[in-house]
Structures are given as C-alpha cells and as structure tokens.
Amino acid sequence: MNTELKNCIMDAFDPAMETFISSSGYRELNQKVTDLFSELCTLLPQEHHQKLNELMNARGDVESALASEAYYRGVINGIALQTDIK
C-alpha cells in the first residue's frame, strides 16, 4: 500500500472521530476510567504511581494503535468493496 495514501487516511482519523470523541457516551466512559485511576492512586503508595502511569500510558498506546489500524483497514476494505460492487 502506498505510504502517502496511508498517511492521508490516518490524517482523517481525528476529524472523522471528532463527533464520537465529543459524545456524552465516550466522555462518560473516559471519566469512569479517570475516576477509577484516581481511586487506585489513593490506595497505592506514592512510589507506585509512576509505574501505574506507565502502565496506563502503555495500555493507551496499544488501544490507540488498534483503533488506528482498524480505521485504516476499514477505509481500505470499504474502498475495495465499493470497487468490487461497481
């Protein structure tokens, strides 16, 4: 696949997802995670906070990579299906 095409598709990710990211449902899910994270931090000794932050950031990176790849493949598969139908 052309790298330039992939970059164009990925550049469209944030604008395409803006409505979902700003939705109340997504904000509620995000707030729940933030609240649970904060609660857990209060239960842990201070020296464990950095490791917990690293874990949460790594988990976020994995989920972001999955979402980006799913978006990219969805666009490519949609293009392929549309070409097959014509």
CA separation, residue 85 to residues 5, 9, 80, 81 (Å) = 22, 21, 9, 6
Task: Indicate if the pLDDT at residue 1 is higher than 60.
Answer: no
For range 16-29, the mean pLDDT: 95
pLDDT at 2: 76
pLDDT at 41: 92
For range 37-49, the mean pLDDT: 92
User: Mind listing the pLDDT tens digit for each residue in 54-80?
Assistant: 999 999 999 999 999 999 999 988 888
User: Mind listing the pLDDT tens digit for each residue in 2-18?
Assistant: 788 888 888 888 899 99
Residue tagged 């979902």 (tokens): 20
